[in-house]
């Protein structure tokens, strides 16, 4: 009976190996997530220009978000250039791009999050500016929200892996901590 009990017990070596395997899986998933791009359909390239203008004129920045805003601006500008090139190639090849093909940008996680945050932080003046902003948000807000939800689901997977790692760490620590030895003396009567 003692042998069966020992074979079911997980050893410190088993836990350490499991932790290493889980760390590698978590790291690979984080790298994959960092490199993943999310499609955001701007419905027309003019909306990309409007976002670029809002970023340039209506978003307050600080030392905390300046680099993020610059990176987003550059990424959107590069995507707009890519879409223009694709559109020109399609014209030369006498084919038509769908509306989605002509205005969908690919953004990495950081740029997508910065876009979302910057659209929420826009401050401007004047009714016409408010009208333009509301139209823009109506046109692209849903697509950005969908992409953010996809990103959040991927982040939850990584969170679950971190929870597993924490649980394994606790088990490892329990096995590494020496158990107190209880010395019982038997009294003879």
Range scoring the smallest mean pLDDT among 42-51, 52-61, 172-181: 172-181
In a domain, 169, yes or no: yes
Domain of 19?
Answer: 2-176
Above pLDDT 70, what percent of the chain?
Answer: 90
In a domain, 187, yes or no: no
Structure-model confidence comparison of residues 158 and 9, the more confident one:
158
In a domain, 171, yes or no: yes
In a domain, 103, yes or no: yes
In a domain, 55, yes or no: yes
pLDDT digit string (tens) for 143-161? 999 999 999 999 999 999 9
Mean pLDDT estimate for the chain? 89
Name the residue among 116, 120, 119 with its Cα closest to residue 150: 116
In a domain, 53, yes or no: yes
In a domain, 184, yes or no: no
Burial 58-76 (b: 16+ CB within 10 A, else e): bbeeeeebeebbeebbebb
In a domain, 34, yes or no: yes
pLDDT at 184: 62
Residue 179 has pLDDT above 90, yes or no: no
Q: How many structural domains are present in the chain?
A: 1
Structure-model confidence comparison of residues 42 and 189, the more confident one:
42
156: its two tokens: 């939850």
């Amino acid at each position: 009976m003692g042998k069966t009990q020992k074979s079911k017990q997980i050893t410190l070596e088993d836990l350490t190996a499991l932790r290493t395997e889980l760390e590698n899986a978590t790291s690979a998933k984080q790298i994959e997530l960092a490199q993943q791009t999310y499609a955001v359909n701007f419905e027309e390239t003019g909306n990309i220009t409007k976002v670029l203008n809002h970023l340039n004129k209506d978003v307050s920045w600080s030392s905390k978000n300046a680099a993020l805003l610059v990176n987003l601006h550059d990424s959107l500008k590069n995507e707009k250039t890519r879409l223009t090139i694709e559109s020109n190639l399609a014209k030369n090849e006498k084919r038509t791009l769908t509306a989605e093909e002509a205005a969908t940008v690919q953004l990495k996680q950081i740029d997508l999050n910065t876009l979302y945050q910057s659209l929420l932080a826009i401050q401007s003046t004047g009714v016409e500016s408010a009208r333009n902003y509301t139209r823009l948000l109506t046109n692209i807000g849903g697509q950005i929200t969908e992409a953010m939800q996809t990103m959040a689901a991927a982040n939850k997977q990584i969170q679950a892996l971190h929870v597993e790692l924490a649980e394994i760490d606790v088990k490892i620590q329990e096995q590494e901590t020496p158990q107190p030895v209880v010395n019982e003396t038997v009294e003879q009567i």
